[in-house]
Amino acid sequence: MNGAAAWLAFVVLPGVGGALAWLRWGPTSGAIERLVWSAGLAPALGLGFGSLLLVAWRALFGSPPGLVAGATTALLLLGAARYAPRSRTEPPASLPLSWRRIDVALLAATATITLVTAVRAAVAYWSEIPEGAYDAVATWNLRARLLFLAPGELGEALSATNYPLLLPGAIALQWSLADGLSAVAPRATGLAFLFAVPLLLVAAARERRAGLAAAAFFLATPFAVGQGASQEADVPTACLLLAAAGLLAASLRDGATQGGPSTELAGLALGLLSWTKNEGLLWASLLLAVAAVTAPRKLQRRGIRLLLGAAPGAVALVLFKALWAPASGLSASTFLGEGALGRLLDLERWGTILRALGGRLDPTAGAFPWGLSWLLLLAAAALLPWLGARSADEGTRLLGRLAIGCLAILPVVYALTPLPLGWHLETSLDRLLLQIYPLTLLAAAEAVAARLVARQSAAARIESGVP
């Protein structure tokens, strides 16, 4: 297969996703902010929505020609962006004040470091494990091959496991566009989501330097960067959770009555999050619950826009689980089934879980190269009580409460697991922590920024003599 065709097929989908974000965002923000958001959302929207369309096409019509599949994807995405209702907020007269030259320079440096670091880590990883990690070979890439090579056997391809289909569908669509199998598709897809994470951290942070600090912190974590080359679904899940939470926080900060374009894009990211992994549905449900507690009135006014955005991914997930996914495998029913209460009340299990989590907080344990990441995040979390102060807006409080909720629910999940506890912790704990790692970085950065803003505001009031 022609390598140029494989790369062209990969570029098309994120390119269309970035165009969707750019057009849908409208003229309500500065050009640099709009560009960073669009670049960060490009893989999630383009590859995610493309996977939905491929699976739908396979189910309805069988195998589409690559050109038809690509043209349909592009037209539907751009048509949705062009004709969707827009917020009537007036555009600003100039770029946001927080974007100064030093910020742009730091952003460019962050993007460069992301590219160099990730590519070097990926090349080293692929030289040892060219086909990706175990789950990539046994689950994600295998199902992508079935979707591409055996479109007439769609039921068999979809019923192989109960994991959703964002990654397999996105990879199979790229192969359809390029008309052949290639290692470029799964490798480039993993790196695209990895590149998107620091961009989303910068875009979602209200204080730009806080976002740049979070992005630099992410890039300094070897496990996070190395996992981007694994071709597994944990980095895409982390990216989509960050996108959904960041966009919903932006929506809560929006002055428009019904919320701006970020509301529908938040819904789309929310639906795609549940279409990525089974854990994605847990994170999406938790995000909605935290939003309902944090800003119930705003969420009620924005509910229709949010649900419309989430509908494609949510409908696809429901149909997949109802029609094709096998009853066996991990699901809510297996976690909450027979013996669940006994497992939940078993103090020995809780001790095992807490020791495993403690090992990730100890930089000398050497379980995985997290280094000092979680120690520093917990130190920053000491500032989270200030998220309830008046200086913190509802979007910032949403991020902080969601990060705390995700961290708090992990031990409960492991306490309820019907699988052998030691094996389950060893094989999945680090990857689950990775899924919530960028969100936790953003929440910690916003907590620090909120505290600094509160101190600056207090100092300004004292200088002006205002009580």
- Structural contact between residues 244 and 237, judged by C-beta atoms closer than 8 angstroms: no
Which tens digits make up the pLDDT trace of 388-422? 445 567 888 888 889 889 988 999 999 988 889 99
pLDDT at residue 388, rounded to an integer: 45
Using 50, 70 and 90 to split pLDDT, how confident is the model at 127? confident
Q: Which domain holds residue 318?
A: 3-82+102-464
Map residue 146 onto helix, strand or coil: helix
Q: Is 366 left (phi over 0), alpha (psi -120 to 50) or beta?
A: left
Selected residue with higher pLDDT from 349 and 324: 349
Lowest-confidence region among 28-32, 223-227, 257-261:
257-261
Per-residue pLDDT for 364 more than 70?
no
Per-residue pLDDT for 11 more than 70?
yes
How many whole angstroms from its chain centre is CA 338?
A: 32
pLDDT at residue 87, rounded to an integer: 44
| Number of domains the chain is built from | 1
Q: Count other Cβ atoms within 10 Å, centred on residue 390.
A: 7
Residue 36 lies in a domain: yes
What's the chain's average pLDDT?
Answer: 78
Per-residue pLDDT for 91 more than 50?
no
pLDDT at residue 89, rounded to an integer: 41
Structure tokens at 358: 């403690």
Residue 91 lies in a domain: no
How many whole angstroms from its chain centre is CA 157?
A: 25
% pLDDT > 90, the chain = 19
Residue 295 lies in a domain: yes
Lowest-confidence region among 31-40, 44-53, 217-226:
217-226
Per-residue pLDDT for 458 more than 80?
no
Burial class (CB in 10 A: 0-12, 13-18, 19+), 40: buried
Which tens digits make up the pLDDT trace of 189-218? 988 999 899 999 988 888 777 888 888 888
Residue 97 lies in a domain: no
Structure tokens at 208: 């730009």
CA distances from 369 to 222, 307, 362, 366 (A): 6, 39, 10, 7
Residue 96 lies in a domain: no
Mean pLDDT: which of 84-93, 348-357, 359-368, 371-380 is highest? 348-357
pLDDT at residue 240, rounded to an integer: 96
Lowest-confidence region among 105-114, 136-145, 152-161, 266-275:
152-161
pLDDT at residue 121, rounded to an integer: 77
Using 50, 70 and 90 to split pLDDT, how confident is the model at 376? low
Residue 226 lies in a domain: yes
- Structural contact between residues 263 and 305, judged by C-beta atoms closer than 8 angstroms: yes
pLDDT at residue 8, rounded to an integer: 76
Per-residue pLDDT for 122 more than 70?
yes
Residue 90 lies in a domain: no
Selected residue with higher pLDDT from 73 and 403: 403
Using 50, 70 and 90 to split pLDDT, how confident is the model at 283? very high
pLDDT at residue 347, rounded to an integer: 92
Selected residue with higher pLDDT from 160 and 240: 240
The whole model's pTM is what?
A: 0.87
Residue 88 lies in a domain: no
Cα–Cα distance, 267 to 252 (Å, whole number)? 13
